[in-house]
Amino acid sequence: MRNIIGVIWVCLAWVSDLSAQTPFYQGKQVNIRVGFNAGGSFDVWARIIAKHLEKHVPGNPSFVV
């Protein structure tokens, strides 16, 4: 039992901190392509989603529709 607890403790001590890594999308531009006319309903939805994603994707990339 002591061996199992010791192994678990060692494994937990070696777990790297993922928040210390730099976000993949930091400083990048993400292009969203819409296959329909500008000003249409699909274009409007793509722009709404892009505006929302800018706030929630780690690294705060810029989204272009």
Domain regions of the chain by residue span: 18-64
pLDDT of residue 43: 92
Residue 18 confidence (pLDDT): 53
Give Cβ neighbours of residue 31 (< 8 Å, ≥ 6 apart): 63, 64
pLDDT value, residue 20: 60
Amino acid at 11: C
Query: What is the rounded CA–CA span in Å between residue 15 and residue 10?
Result: 9
Query: Model pTM greater than 0.75?
Result: no
- The reported pLDDT for the residue numbered 16 is 58
How many CA atoms lie less than 13 Å away from 53 in the CB half-sphere? 16
Mean pLDDT per block of 10 residues along the chain (65 residues) reads: 77 62 85 90 92 88 91
- Taking the C-alpha atoms of residue 54 and residue 58, their distance in angstroms, rounded to an integer, is 9
